[in-house]
Amino acid sequence: GATLPNYRIRGGSTYSMNGGQVVSIREVVKHPEFVETPRKNDIAVVILQEVFRLSGSLNIMYLPPKNIDIPNGIPATVVSWGFESEQGPIHNSLMAITLTTVPLEQCQQIYADDADIKINEAVICANAANSGVCSGDMGAPLVSGGVLIGVASNHKGCGSQNYPDVFTRIDAYVDWIMEVAVAPSS
């Protein structure tokens, strides 16, 4: 995995530059079969130097069970400090948007001719009218029913109704996440 001694994570604050707790990153472990283009196995585990202290503004996000059924048409929320448009600027306060999951077959048809984005069983597609992930949002959590079901992996434009956003399915990687998180390499 990569070591990132100068990077830190802020938790328990809705602001990117102040409040909450700040913890250093010990290591980032990318999935061993990650492929950049077309994106595949787009997931990593961030190992922290120390644990966050749970509080009223900082709590645990649950992992889904393996092979969880994620129905089409359910609401799911993305939370991020990312850009509002391709040109930025990045937000200082946390933004949340609610998307709706899209049938995998529909998403596969939409992206069928796109060499950079391939849709398979290890992703979730979701969108909303005039809203969605943008630059700076990759890796942002997709949450439904208090469970982390995905992380932002790919998008075409910012909030394009015609192109659903693509998220890596967490349930497809639960065994790997637990293996890496329980026994980090350093």
CATH (domain of 25): 2.40.10.10
Residues 21 and 85 in one domain: no
**pLDDT score recorded for residue 123:** 97
Degrees to nearest 5, angle at CA 6 with 4 and 53: 90
Whether 146 maps to a domain, the answer reads yes
Q: Is residue 92 part of a domain?
A: yes
In this structure, is residue 70 part of a structural domain?
A: no
Domain interval for residue 14: 8-58+173-182
Amino acid occupying residue 84: E
> In this structure, are 140 and 85 located in the same domain?
yes
Co-location of 86 and 156 in the same domain: yes
Please indicate, yes or no, whether residues 127 and 53 belong to a single structural domain of this protein.
no
* pTM given for the model: 0.91
At residue 77, the pLDDT reads 97
Is residue 65, in this structure, part of any structural domain at all?
A: no
- DSSP assignment string, 24-62: EEEEEEE-TT-BTTTTBS--EEEEESSPPPPBTTB---B
Domain tally, the chain: 2
Q: Are residues 142 and 167 in the same domain?
A: yes
SS3 at position 171: helix
Name the residue among 33, 27, 62 with its Cα closest to residue 47.
Answer: 27
Give the list of residues 6+ apart from residue 39 with CB closer than 8 angstroms, or none: 116, 117, 118, 153, 154, 166
Q: Quick one: 105 and 135 in the same domain? A: yes
Q: Please check whether residue 159 lies inside any domain of the structure.
A: yes
Instruction: For residues 80 and 29, state if they share a domain.
Output: no
Q: What pLDDT score does 161 carry?
A: 80
- Spatial CA neighbour of 123 closest among 157, 89, 74, 172: 172
* pLDDT computed for residue 130 by the predictor: 82
What type of residue sits at position 88? G
For residue 89, cis peptide bond before it (omega within 30 degrees of 0): yes
In a shared domain, residues 119 and 158: yes
> Are residues 51 and 90 located together in one domain of the fold?
no
Q: Is 68 part of any domain?
A: no
- The reply to whether 51 falls in a domain is yes
Is 1 inside any structural domain?
Answer: no
Same domain, 93 and 125: yes
Asked if 39 and 51 touch (Cβ cutoff 8 Å), the reply is no
pLDDT per 10-residue tile (average), the chain, 186 residues: 74 92 94 92 94 93 94 96 70 90 97 92 93 87 96 89 94 96 68
How far is the C-alpha of 90 from the C-alpha of 125, rounded, in Å?
24
Question: Whose structure tokens read 């979730």?
Answer: 124
Query: Are residues 159 and 98 part of one domain?
Result: yes
Q: How far apart are CA 102 and CA 120, in angstroms?
A: 13
Tell me what pLDDT residue 82 has. 74
Do 82 and 163 belong to one domain? yes
